Amino acid sequence: MASFQGTKIDPKKFHPSQLKFYAILIPVALFMGLPILFIFNHAFKPIDELFAYPPRFFVQKPTMQNFEGLFAQSNAGGTPMSRYLFNSIVVTLVVVVLTVLMSTMAAYVLSKKNFRLKSTLFEINTLALMFVPAAVAIPRYFIIEKIGLIDTFWVHIFPLLAMPIGLFLVKQFIDQIPQALIEAATIDGANDYQIYWRIVMPMVKPAIATIAILSFQLVWNNVETSDLYVNSESSKTFAFYMSTLTSVSGNTVAGQGLSAAASLIMFVPNLVIFIFMQKQVMNTMAHTGIK
């Protein structure tokens, strides 16, 4: 027992005893990275390799033909692809910023303020986690139509601002902030907005990063809004345009190449944002279960 306690391993440095972990983790990491590698290879495959049998994982004759065809196809229509991308970027940025603000503000109030129906409101939010989007599609359409958002640019934004999982995660973080710290700031003369910006927001950065990723993926990959609520082609997003490539091209074979190129364009932003924020996401998952 004494010899075991006397042996200390620095996790930041290599030790021979760590080899057993590498032997397991490296093959698992390589296996999990195969889909990412496939998406990049698939986008640069010429038509003959896209339909080769048996299927080929790696591209043998990489080409930009799929991307050239993608831009040419969009320019041939009434709306250029740049318009779809512009709509997706603007909508995504607006929704991510507003979702973070709404989730953190609501979580601060539900965590540190006392008022009637506080527990009931949080239970309603928790209950909302049970419903998948398909279950509320019809009532959501009636509400959107009633308030006059059909075929407007705002229909891409307002219905996606409410994010129950974001509110839940942030509240778990704010619950861990000592109430004495909030009271001390209040005694020093800080109001709620100052406490929110200077104390709460810096201490919940991991949760904010997680909300940003979740809302980004939700909006960036959203096809339903453009499909159900928008009639004007110039107001639709790139995700919707990508979902119609096969039918729009009029050629299923050629459409597969266009779809492969568009899939890579859709995937890269998700990969980049996760790479830069993965540490914060891991911290969120670790702290959420600690009470």
pLDDT at 105: 93
> In the structure, what pLDDT confidence band is assigned to residue 272 with cuts at 50, 70 and 90?
confident
Return all residues near 99 (Cβ < 8 A) that are at least 6 apart: 160, 161, 163, 166, 211, 212, 215
- Answer whether residue 251 shows pLDDT above 70: no
pLDDT in tens, 146-158: 998 898 889 999 9
Write the DSSP symbol of residue 154. G
Q: Which residues of 72-105 are buried (b: 16+ CB within 10 A; e: fewer)?
A: ebbeeeebebebbeebbeebbebbbebbbebbbb
The full set of domains in the chain, from first to last, is: 15-63 (no CATH), 80-288 (1.10.3720.10)
- What's residue 274's pLDDT? 80
- Residues 44 and 275: their CA atoms lie apart, in Å, by 23
> What's the whole-number average pLDDT of the chain?
83
The answer to whether 209 and 281 are in contact (CB under 8 A) is yes
Token pair, residue 24, equals: 């397991």
What pLDDT, on the 0 to 100 scale, is given for residue 67?
85
Please state whether 290 falls in left (phi above 0), alpha (psi between -120 and 50) or beta: beta
Helix (H, G, I), strand (E, B) or coil at 97: helix
* Whether residue 54 has a cis bond before it, omega within 30° of 0: yes
What is the per-residue pLDDT across 27-75, written as a single tens digit (0 to 9) for each?
A: 998 898 888 898 898 888 888 888 877 878 888 888 888 888 877 776 6
Question: pLDDT, tens digit, for every residue of 157-167?
Answer: 998 888 888 89
**How far apart are alpha carbons 106 and 162 in whole angstroms?**
11
Mean pLDDT, rounded, for 215-227: 89
At 235 the pLDDT is 87
Q: How far apart are CA 20 and CA 23, in angstroms?
A: 5
